[in-house]
Amino acid sequence: MFGRKKLFLLAFLALQGCTSLPLRGTGDLGVVIERATGSVQVLDTTHHSSLGQISGLGDLSHASVNYSRDERYAYVFGRDGGLTKLDLLQNALVKRVMQSGNSIGGAISQDGRLIAVANYVPGGVKIFNAATLDLVADIPAIGANGKPSKVVGLVDAPAQRFVFSLYDAGEIWVADVRDPAKPVVTKYPNIGKEPYDGVITADGRYYIAGLFGEDGLALLDMWNLSAGVKRILPHYGKGEEKLPVFKMPHLEGWAATGNELLVPAVGRFEVLVIDQNSWKESGRIAVHGQPVFVVARPDNRQVWVNFATPYNDTVQVIDVPSRKIIKTLKPGKGVLHIEFTPRGEQVWISVRDENRIDIYDSETFEKVGEVKADNPSGIFFTPRAHRTGM
Amino acid sequence: MSLLGLSAKNVTTRETGAAITASVSAALRKLGYVGFVLSLGVFFSISGAAFGAGTYLSSVRQTELIKLVRNDCGSCHGIRLTGGLGLPLTPQALKGKPAKSLVTTILFGRPGTPMPPWNTFMTEAEAAWIVENLLQGFPDVR
């Protein structure tokens, strides 16, 4: 009898344990990467607070994050090839696999069942079961020249596809993973020299790769794949002095403002405006330094820009309709990333050297809060779960 | 005056003693006595910095350079310098590469690649200090 009582007590305590965390959703959560310590903090955007730190994630230089479609799990892609699954509700590391020697980022499939990782060493894409992190498929990136290539700019696309670029080979590949174990890969060679990043428009229609090795951008219309890759902005930079680039610009978060795309120039202290109908340059906006991230507020009215060293203490705000800089902020040295709250009323900015995330009101530009973090870099909020290419 | 020749000669040779002798006698032959004294002073100040004795670069500046390498070089080469879009900068990866060319690469970049010139961010002596430390295994920020 005593044994049974004890059992009941244990069961009761166990249940208590399960329910001791308050019930909550995850739509106002996110993570910030603390790259020097290989940890992340779980962030609460409603209360401007950290819900805790999760460590043991390895080398998080250039780390990026995707979310499960229920916004509960974060998949963190580390530089050392580590793929880590985190549970935001439990503040816990669920599983970690070392899937390559050196990786650059990942994507989650349209149906949320697959995680794809872009690798530098060995170059290629590996595809994992999102629930278990078991390997499902391996796509080595061997270019038409027969040589292995680093993979960059990996995104998901509608119809259960992944799209990515081969840096060394200068190719774009589209992998159809409707049968996950047997990806069907369509290859587009000769897209230009050294694609260094790629982005897909929010509607999933246009995949665009930035080219480092030559002028212009490579564009693939996912609604018209048979048309192949075409070059846009072919004359950009022609005849001008090539400028050194102290940090590669990122294409993620590119501002699509309806008819226009705002993109970082490479090397120049400019943000370029591209007319999305003609795919021609329709303007340039002079900015404070070499732009790294050019991020649109969710309503596309504003675009916030940060810069490469030695100008990385500054953030500028562009008013899209007038194309004017309407605010210049100086949060501190090492501004590495900009992330808007789901509907854009606030923006979170990581300030590496200040060990801080600053929170600004995006209308008044007043600082409304801060969260301490150790050398913070990327900030990723859960609404990315429902955005193509994020 | 170029600091580069002497510091590079100094760090490329495995036998440091032999390098000192070789560079001193070479300097003597080339420059005569005044040049020798001058270059000797430069040599010792560089080697002090290069070997981490801190006699040439203040510890504040060394910390700045360590941060610059980890963060700014790290954006392509990885914060742990194990490589990314840029090549790895670990001692194993750099083994056998002449220090002089590494210093030149840092200062003037590699045309035709994304590697930019960093000579607006540091002096030759500081680049030599970075190379020496990369070859030994680069220190951490803290």
Give tens-digit pLDDT for A368-385.
Answer: 999 999 999 999 999 999
Q: CA B49 from chain center: how many Å?
A: 9
- Measure the CA–CA gap between B135 and B125, rounded to whole angstroms: 15
Q: Does residue A26 sit in helix, strand or coil?
A: coil
pLDDT mean across residues, chain A: 92
Residue A269 near residue A309 (C-beta atoms within 8 A):
no
Q: CA of A81: which chain B residue's CA is closest? A: B84
Q: Does B84 sit within 8 Å of A59, measured CB to CB?
A: no
Q: Does residue A190 sit in helix, strand or coil?
A: coil
Q: Does A244 sit within 8 Å of B109, measured CB to CB?
A: yes
Cis bond upstream, residue A122 (ω within 30):
yes
For residue A5, the model assigns a pLDDT of 57
Q: Does B71 sit within 8 Å of A352, measured CB to CB?
A: yes
Nearest to B75 among A59, A120, A247 (CB): A247
A42-66 burial, b at 16+ Cβ within 10 Å, e below that, comes to bbbbeeeebbeebeebbbbbbbbbb
Q: CA of A78: which chain B residue's CA is closest? A: B78
Q: What is the mean pLDDT of residues A319-342?
A: 96
Tell me, what's the ipTM?
0.75
Which residues in chain B are closer than 8 Å to A194, comparing Cβ atoms? Answer: 114
Q: Does A104 sit within 8 Å of B116, measured CB to CB?
A: no
- Measure the CA–CA gap between A291 and A266, rounded to whole angstroms: 8
Q: Does residue A107 sit in helix, strand or coil?
A: strand
Asked whether the predicted pLDDT for residue A273 surpasses 70, the reply is: yes
Q: Does residue A320 sit in helix, strand or coil?
A: coil
Whole-model pTM? Answer: 0.84
Please count the CA atoms within 13 angstroms of the CA of A313 that sit on its side-chain side: 6
Query: Could you read off the pLDDT of A67-95 as tens digits, one per residue?
Result: 999 999 999 999 999 999 999 999 999 99
Question: 């990369």: which residue's tokens?
Answer: B134
CA distances from B131 to A49, A168, B105, B118 (A): 41, 27, 10, 13
Q: CA B73 from chain center: how many Å?
A: 14
H or E element, residue B102: helix B99-108
H or E element, residue B91: helix B91-94
Nearest to B78 among A79, A246, A310 (CB): A79
Q: CA A158 from chain center: how many Å?
A: 18
For residue A302, the model assigns a pLDDT of 95
Residue A373 near residue A41 (C-beta atoms within 8 A):
yes
